[in-house]
Amino acid sequence: MTRYLYFFLCYCSFISSTLAQSVFVPDFFSDKSAELNEEVYVVFGHSTKRWDYSRMSEQGSRELLQFAQTNAITTIASVHEAATQREEVAQEYFVKNSEVDNVLLSSGGQHKLNFTHANKIYLAGGNLSLCLCETIRDIVGRMDWSQRTTLQLVLVKDALYDWKFWPLDLEKLDKFFNYFFLPNFHCPSQGVNRGPKVDLAGVKLSVYFDGLHFRDYPLSKTGGPATKSVVLKFLDSKDLENDHTKSSTIF
Angle CA(109)–CA(73)–CA(196) in degrees, nearest 5? 25
Spatial separation of the C-alpha atoms in residues 102 and 79, rounded to whole Å: 11
Please count the CA atoms within 13 angstroms of the CA of 204 that sit on its side-chain side: 14
Could you give phi then psi for residue 77, rounded to 5 degrees? -110, 125
Q: What are phi and psi of 115, to 5 degrees?
A: -85, 65
**40-45 β-sheet, strand order:** 28-29, 102-105, 74-79, 40-45, 120-125, 150-160, 228-235, 203-209, 212-218
d(C-alpha 211, C-alpha 193), whole Å:
34
Chain segment 55-65, per-residue pLDDT in tens: 999 999 999 99
- In contact, 125 and 61? CB cutoff 8 Å: yes
What mean pLDDT is predicted for residues 226-232?
A: 94
pLDDT per residue over 133-144, tens digit each?
999 999 999 999
pLDDT, one tens digit per residue, over 83-140 is: 999 999 999 999 999 999 999 999 999 999 999 999 999 999 989 989 999 999 999 9
Cα–Cα distance for residue pair 89/173, rounded to 1 Å? 33
In eight-state DSSP terms, residue 66 is H
pTM of the model: 0.88
Q: Is the pLDDT of residue 23 over 50?
A: yes
Q: Does the pLDDT at position 193 exceed 60?
A: no
Beta strands in the chain (DSSP E): 28-29, 34-36, 40-45, 74-79, 102-105, 113-115, 120-125, 150-160, 203-209, 212-218, 228-235
Percent of the chain residues past pLDDT 90, beyond the cut: 65
Structural domains of the chain sorted by starting position, each given as residue range(s) with its CATH number in brackets: 2-245 (3.40.50)
Q: Are 213 and 204 in contact (CB under 8 A)?
A: no
Give, rounded to a whole angstrom, the gap between the first and last alpha carbons of the chain: 72
